[in-house]
Amino acid sequence: MICIGDETPFDVAAREALLDVAMGPDRKLKSSERLREGQTPADGLALVARDMADDGPARLAGTVRLWRVLAGEVPALLLGPLAVAPGRQGDGVGGALMREAIARAHAAGHGAILLVGDPEYYVRFGFSASVTAGLAMPGAYEQRRLLALELVPGALAGAAGMIAAPLAVATNGALEAGVAAGESGALRWGAALLPHAA
């Protein structure tokens, strides 16, 4: 039986091993990775799928995480990586992770989710490239694979420019990375300078 739940610190080693085997050794060269470096996932949006075996400990079957980004000047989430253990692919685990992540993001009031992935897979969850035409990722990527789902209709209307990691700027000029928008009135969002993918 598969259970979807929050990732815990005890899942980290298994998550990294799963990502290595599911996505290969080049996974850290992806453009999306540049936006995740130094960041933590958005609150409540680091999910795992656990395979609850009757005769042994639960095993990690899948992982997905979502991250705060700025789409031009519009706050949004970036989804990824999504990966399922090779032995469980095709069993609906990826779909279950996606549906739970979308439901949680919607419930938390986020306006839109972006990702870079195969349209042939993500269209079933409502993702489309039609609202990302004015947006760009740092580094190498295919524009047809830059997809988005608006959780609030029109959330990405007018979103244009580079997708960037958030960088909170304190009023005294000090920089604090990874502070979420709206968590403190003393902070505002700015765009981090990002190196291009290798």
**One character per residue 99-118, x = contact with ligand COA (rule: CB under 6 A):** ------------------xx
The answer to whether 67 and 35 are in contact (CB under 8 A) is yes
* Binding segment toward ligand COA, per CB under 6 A, in 78-86, 147-155, 167-175, 181-189: 78-86
Nearer to ligand COA, 94 or 166 (CB): 94
Spell 27-57 as b/e; 16+ CB within 10 A means b. Answer: beebbbebbbeebebbeebbbbbbbeeeeee
Closest contact distance (angstroms) between CB of 187 and ligand COA is: 33
Element (H, E) at 121: helix 119-122
Q: Is 92 near ligand COA (CB under 6 A)?
A: yes
Q: For the segment 148-187, give every residue that binds ligand COA (CB under 6 A).
A: none
Closest CA to 29 of 144, 170, 140: 140
Select the residue whose beta carbon is closest to ligand COA and give its number.
94
How do strand 112-116 and strand 135-136 relate by DSSP bridges? unpaired
Q: Which residues bind ligand COA (CB under 6 A)?
A: 22-23, 82-84, 89-95, 117-118, 120-121
